[in-house]
């Protein structure tokens, strides 16, 4: 665990922050490469990075502040401006919303661009989970298995070995990245496959985490994962039927 890597003028630089920066940069590179492959201007990837960063970070903080404020009664503004506390699904929603606006402003074809950027979504999410592991956040239930890890400086700290669910999800998402890259020229709608696969991974790993169950024994994250899977599956089937009709 390396929660803080170093300080600049007394300001701590966290390992999660560094991994988040790497995720955005790697995602931009991957998106640009894919855009060039399909004939889009790869410079658009750098432009969209700004929208994704603002939407992702802003959405994750906003979701976290609203969610925790409603559940625990902590003042909304205190949560919003706290250094800790970001939520992936809030970041995903915020990034999608702002990137959607950005593609319209800059004249980038929305559908093809989302098929490009979903590759970065999977890779960036995987790198972000590695960052969560380094700061000891989002770990799972106690375990006496061989993969158990204690997080004495975690958030919150634990001396009892727990499931490193951050690494479980990261491993799944690195695999998803490779799968999507292999499918990039064959999928009827690549971003829909990303939503489905990301949803499956998060739904499964949540069974090992300690998040509260809110409905039918499922956590809030699992319910969102099911919704994303449904959206992805519906869109994929629609695209597949469209291709079948066009080639009939």
pTM of this structure: 0.88
Instruction: Provide the 3-class DSSP secondary structure of residue 11.
Output: strand
Domain boundaries, the chain: 4-186
Across 109-121, b (16+ Cβ under 10 Å) vs e yields eeebbbbbbbbbb
Instruction: List pLDDT tens digits, range 178-214.
Output: 999 999 999 999 999 999 999 999 999 999 998 888 8
Q: What is the pLDDT of residue 155?
A: 80
DSSP 190: H
Question: What burial letters (b/e) apply to 76-98, b meaning 16+ CB within 10 Å?
Answer: eeebeeeeebbbbbbbbbbbbeb
Query: Is 72's pLDDT higher than 80?
Result: no
DSSP, collapsed to helix, strand or coil, labels residue 224 as helix
Residue 4: pLDDT above 80? Answer: no
Is pLDDT of 243 > 90?
A: no
Separation of alpha carbons 140 and 205, rounded Å: 9
CA 210, CA 219: separation in Å to the nearest integer?
9
Residue 62 is predicted with a pLDDT of: 85
Percentage, residues of the chain above pLDDT 90: 55
* pLDDT tens digit sequence for 155-167: 888 999 999 999 9
């Amino acid at each position: 665990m390396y929660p803080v890597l170093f300080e600049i003028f007394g300001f701590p630089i966290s390992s999660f922050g560094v991994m988040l920066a790497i995720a955005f940069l790697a995602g931009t590179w991957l998106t640009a490469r894919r855009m060039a492959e399909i004939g889009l201007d790869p410079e658009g990837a750098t432009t969209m990075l700004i929208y994704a960063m603002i939407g992702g970070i802003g959405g994750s903080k906003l979701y976290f502040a609203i969610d925790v404020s409603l559940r625990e009664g902590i003042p909304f503004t205190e949560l919003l401006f706290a250094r800790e506390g970001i939520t992936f699904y809030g970041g995903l929603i915020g990034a999608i919303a702002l990137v959607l606006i950005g593609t319209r402003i800059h004249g980038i074809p929305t559908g093809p661009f989302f098929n490009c950027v979903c590759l970065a979504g999977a890779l960036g999410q995987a790198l972000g989970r590695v960052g969560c592991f380094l700061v000891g956040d989002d770990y799972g239930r106690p375990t006496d298995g061989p993969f158990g890890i204690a997080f004495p400086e975690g958030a919150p700290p634990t001396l009892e070995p727990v499931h490193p669910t951050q690494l479980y999800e990261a491993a799944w998402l690195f695999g998803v990245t490779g799968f999507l890259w292999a499918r990039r020229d064959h999928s009827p709608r690549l971003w829909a496959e990303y939503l489905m696969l990301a949803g499956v991974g998060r739904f499964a790993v949540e069974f090992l985490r300690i998040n509260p169950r809110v409905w039918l024994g499922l956590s809030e994250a699992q319910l969102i994962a099911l919704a994303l899977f449904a959206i992805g599956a519906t869109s994929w089937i629609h695209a597949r039927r469209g291709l079948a009709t066009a080639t009939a």
